């Protein structure tokens, strides 16, 4: 749903200008230095990028899913690391609060997340609990009006620089699985919370990812998201459900950029006396990439619209995330091929984006986990569909 087309067009134009004039020229340097310069983060704050999904009542832009998808497609045409810097705040790290936070929690944190004054992160994954997040072992033991948290989270985006941690822990140790998990809001500086060094990783350099270590970390019971224990996994799934549509949008921007880069390179590069763009095998790679990104865009925008109208799009969100992330991988692979040997060299956008988009198929549910979810829901919904009398 687009609430105000004129306002949205103005926002998209502003972001496009920021992407082209500010972000793209700094991509290679940020990749090399593994760090986004603070003045650039300030520029993101001034543009309101940290708060697009947060309701207007808390200082955000209150964008709908469709609007947010269009913004994500625009912003991710620059290296995805830019979006990773503010993406927690305007996505997974604020969404738990938006959907399930108490009035006091929203008032305390959402305005500061929206402005970018603080950076949030979402700490679910553990060394032994990845795809099977319900097997998490971090404990939260009740002690009077407090809980004491113990455990380790790993691969947490922005953990090394975050101010606010949404930590998922087991409040009922004897209840296995999703029940008995609660989400806690833990501020940096709370004794017993520590963060590890940023991991060295394949791509998205400049987006720090690391451990969150909790050792007898004491937080008030009022730090539980929503105030009631045992609802943390439902909260996580609500946040992730929306985030999967966001992430799918973030896979489309790089594909658009790479098609543009393939076209530019193919027209400039000459072999056998002609630009390689004249060779139909090269054209095929461009045609397949552009077709696939259009298919992904149509699927994601349709799903975002249906979510905005109140439909349950749990299965479709999985389809979006799986299809768009796999599509981005195929497009990046073709881009390297069109660039030839240059595409393997670290100075080219094809090489950088190839590394950057690889993670999209891994986090927020791997491709395989989404395939399982889609299959389960398809089989439940379509069972008996061909029987007489079924519409």
Ligand X SMILES: Cc1cc2nc3c(=O)[nH]c(=O)nc-3n(C[C@H](O)[C@H](O)[C@H](O)COP(=O)(O)OP(=O)(O)OC[C@H]3O[C@@H](n4cnc5c(N)ncnc54)[C@H](O)[C@@H]3O)c2cc1C
Residues in contact with ligand X by CB under 6 A are 121-125, 130-131, 155-157, 201, 209, 359, 362-364, 366, 368-369, 372
Cα 295 to chain centroid, rounded = 20
Question: Rounded to whole angstroms, what are the CA distances from 119 to 10, 69, 294?
Answer: 26, 21, 33
At 209, which helix (H) or strand (E)? strand 209-220
Nearer to ligand X, 148 or 363 (CB): 363
Smallest separation, CB 94 to ligand X (Å): 13
Six-digit token string for 372: 């399982």
Judged by beta carbon, residue 20 or residue 362, the one nearer ligand X is 362
| Longest pairwise C-alpha distance within the chain | 79
Residue 123 vs 214, nearer CB to ligand X: 123
Beta carbon of residue 287, minimum distance to ligand X (angstroms, whole number): 30
- Packing angle, helices 314-339 and 349-357, rounded to 10: 150
Active-site residue, 364 included: yes
How many beta carbons lie within 10 A of that of residue 247, not counting itself? Answer: 27
Closest separation in Å from C-beta 204 to ligand X? 6
Q: What is the DSSP string of 90-132?
A: TTHHHHHHHHH--HHHHHHHHHHHHHTSS-EEEE--BTTBSS-
Distance CA 319, CA 274 (A): 41
Give the active site residue among 95, 270, 364, 387.
Answer: 364
CB of 84 to ligand X, least distance (A): 9
Do the beta carbons of residue 23 and residue 79 sit within 8 Å? yes
CB of 339 to ligand X, least distance (A): 24
Nearer CB in complex with ligand X: 93/293: 93
Residue 151 has φ and ψ, to the nearest 5°, of: 155, 180
3-state DSSP percent of the chain in helix, strand and coil, to 5: 55, 15, 30
Return the number of the residue (198 or 285) whose C-beta is nearest ligand X: 198
């Amino acid at each position: 749903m687009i609430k105000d087309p004129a306002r949205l067009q103005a926002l998209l134009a502003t972001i496009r200008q920021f992407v082209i004039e500010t972000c793209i020229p700094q991509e290679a340097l940020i990749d090399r230095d593994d760090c986004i310069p603070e003045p650039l983060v300030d520029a993101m704050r001034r543009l309101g990028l940290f708060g697009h999904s947060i309701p207007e009542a808390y200082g955000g832009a209150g964008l709908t899913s469709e609007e947010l998808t269009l913004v994500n497609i625009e912003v991710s045409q620059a290296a995805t690391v830019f979006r990773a810097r503010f993406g927690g705040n305007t996505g997974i790290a604020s969404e738990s609060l938006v959907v399930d936070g108490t009035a006091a929690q929203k008032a305390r944190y959402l305005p500061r997340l929206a402005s970018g004054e603080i950076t949030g992160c979402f700490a679910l994954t553990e060394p032994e609990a990845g795809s099977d997040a319900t097997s998490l072992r971090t404990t939260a033991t009740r002690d009077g009006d407090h809980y004491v948290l113990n455990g380790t989270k790993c691969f947490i985006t922005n953990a090394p620089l975050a101010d606010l941690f949404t930590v998922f822990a087991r409040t009922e140790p004897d209840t296995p699985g999703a029940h008995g998990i609660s989400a806690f809001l833990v501020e940096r500086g709370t004794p017993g919370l520590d963060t590890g060094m940023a991991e060295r990783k394949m791509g998205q350099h400049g987006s720090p990812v690391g451990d969150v270590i909790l050792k007898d970390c004491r937080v008030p019971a009022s730090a539980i998201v929503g105030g009631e224990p045992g609802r943390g996994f439902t909260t996580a799934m609500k946040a992730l459900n929306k985030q999967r549509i966001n992430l799918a949008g973030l896979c489309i921007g790089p594909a658009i950029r790479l098609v543009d880069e393939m076209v530019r390179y193919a027209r400039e590069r000459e072999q056998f006396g002609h630009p390689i763009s004249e060779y139909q095998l090269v054209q095929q790679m461009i045609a397949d990439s552009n077709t696939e990104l259009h298919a992904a865009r149509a699927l994601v925008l349709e799903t975002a619209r249906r979510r905005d109208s109140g439909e349950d799009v749990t299965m479709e969100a999985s389809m979006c995330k799986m299809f768009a992330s796999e599509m981005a991988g195929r497009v990046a692979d073709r881009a390297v091929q069109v660039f030839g040997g240059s595409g393997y060299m670290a100075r080219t956008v094809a090489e950088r984006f190839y590394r950057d988009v690889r993670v999209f198929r891994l986090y927020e549910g791997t491709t395989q986990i989404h395939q399982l979810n889609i299959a389960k829901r398809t089989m439940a919904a379509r069972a008996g569909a061909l029987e007489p009398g079924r519409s």
